[in-house]
C-alpha cells in the first residue's frame, strides 16, 4: 500500500498523535478491546518528543554477538542488497530491524553512519529490538526506537532481508503500516485504515468528557460520577 492509498489527511494526523492514542483508536475501529500487535517493555527513543514514526515496514534481521560464518564476499553483497531493499517500496517507509541476539544484543547498527544513510535513502525512521548508539551526533529528523543503548558495533551483519520479524513481542511483515514513538510501536491493521481517522477523533471526543470535567472549576466526586457515566456509555 502506498501513501496515496491512505485516506486523505490520515498520514498527517498519524504523525501528530501519540502511539497510545492510535492503539485506542484501533480498538474503536475494531469495535472491541484486545488489540495486541504492539511492543512490550520499555524502549529507548533517540529523539523523544518529536513527531511519530509512521510508514510501511522495510524488514530485516541482523546479528552481532559473533562473526558471520559465511564468506566475506557474501556478507558484503547482502549488506548492499539490504540497502537496496531499504531504498525500495512506496513511501513513507520505516526500517524495522530485528536483532536475533535479543535479549543479549551488543551490535549498535543504529548510529551516526546508518542513521545518515537511511535518512538519505528517504526512510522516515527505524524500529528495532537492538542497540542504538552515537546519541550526541546522529542526524535529527530520523528517529530511532530501540531496545537498548550501547557503545559497540560488535560483529554486526545482515542475516535476512524482507522476512517477518519480531520486535519486543510485535510481529511485523514487509509493508505493514507502523506507528511508533517514545511509548513503543504498533502495527496498524489494514482493515481499520479506512475508518482510523474517524476513530482517532472519537478517542479524543470521549477523553474530553472526563478531561473537561476534571479540569473545570468545582470538580468533585458528584461531577465525576456524572461525567464517568457518560464516558462509559460512549467509549469502546
C-alpha cell at 144: 530511532
pLDDT digits (tens, 9 = 90+) for 216-227: 999 999 999 999
Residue pointed to by grid coordinates 546479528: 63
CA-CA distances (angstroms) from residue 149 to 46, 166, 171, 185, 193? 9, 19, 22, 17, 33
Q: How far apart are CA 34 and CA 19, in angstroms?
A: 16
Q: Which residues contact 234 (CB under 8 A, 6 or more apart)?
A: 205, 206, 209
94 DSSP β-pair partners: 57
pTM of the model: 0.94
Residue 234: per-residue pLDDT: 83
Q: Is the pLDDT of residue 3 over 60?
A: no
Binding-site residues from annotation: 133-134
120 three-class SS? helix
Q: How far apart are CA 24 and CA 205, in angstroms?
A: 12
Superfamily of domain 36-188: Ribonuclease E inhibitor RraA/RraA-like (3.50.30.40)
Q: Helix, strand, coil: what percent of the chain each, to 5?
A: 35, 20, 40
Average pLDDT over residues 105-124: 98
Residue 174: per-residue pLDDT: 98
186 DSSP β-pair partners: 38, 179
Q: Is the pLDDT of residue 1 over 90?
A: no
Binding-site residues from annotation for Mg(2+): 134
Cis peptide before 37 (omega within 30 of 0): no
* Pairing state between β 131-132 and 126-128: unpaired
Q: Average pLDDT over the chain, rounded to whole?
A: 96
Q: Is the pLDDT of residue 212 over 60?
A: yes
Q: Measuring CA to CA, which residue among 47, 50, 58, 44 is closest to residue 15?
A: 50
Reported as a pLDDT band with limits 50, 70 and 90, residue 236 is low
Q: Is the pLDDT of residue 60 over 70?
A: yes
Binding-site residues from annotation for substrate: 133
Chain centroid offset of residue 59 CA: 12
CA-CA distances (angstroms) from residue 64 to 15, 17, 83? 32, 34, 18
pLDDT digits (tens, 9 = 90+) for 146-164: 999 999 999 999 999 999 9
Where do the structural domains in the chain lie, given as residue ranges?
A: 36-188
Average pLDDT over residues 171-180: 98
Amino acid at each position: 500500500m502506498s501513501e496515496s492509498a491512505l485516506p486523505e489527511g490520515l498520514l498527517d494526523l498519524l504523525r501528530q498523535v501519540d502511539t497510545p492514542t492510535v492503539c485506542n483508536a484501533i480498538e474503536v475501529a475494531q469495535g472491541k478491546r484486545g488489540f495486541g500487535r504492539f511492543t512490550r517493555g520499555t524502549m529507548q527513543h533517540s529523539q523523544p518528543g518529536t513527531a511519530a514514526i509512521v510508514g510501511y515496514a522495510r524488514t530485516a534481521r541482523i546479528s552481532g554477538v559473533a562473526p558471520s560464518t559465511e564468506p566475506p564476499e557474501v556478507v558484503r553483497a547482502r549488506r548492499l542488497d539490504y540497502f537496496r531493499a531499504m531504498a525500495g517500496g512506496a513511501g513513507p517507509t520505516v526500517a524495522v530491524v530485528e536483532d536475533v541476539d535479543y535479549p543479549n544484543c551488543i551490535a549498535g547498527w543504529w548510529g551516526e553512519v546508518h542513521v545518515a544513510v537511511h535518512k538519505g535513502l528517504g526512510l522516515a525512521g527505524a524500529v528495532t529490538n537492538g542497540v542504538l548508539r552515537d546519541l550526541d551526533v546522529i542526524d535529527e529528523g530520523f528517529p530511532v526506537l530501540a531496545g537498548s543503548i550501547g557503545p559497540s558495533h560488535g560483529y554486526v551483519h545482515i542475516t535476512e532481508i524482507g522476512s517477518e520479524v519480531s520486535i519486543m513481542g510485535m510481529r511485523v511483515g514487509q509493508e505493514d503500516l507502523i506507528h511508533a514513538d517514545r511509548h513503543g510501536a504498533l502495527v496498524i491493521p489494514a482493515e481499520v485504515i479506512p475508518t482510523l481517522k474517524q476513530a482517532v477523533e472519537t478517542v479524543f471526543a470521549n477523553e474530553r468528557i472526563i478531561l473537561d470535567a476534571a479540569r473545570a472549576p468545582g470538580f468533585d466526586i458528584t461531577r465525576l460520577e456524572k461525567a464517568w457515566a457518560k464516558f462509559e456509555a460512549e467509549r469502546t
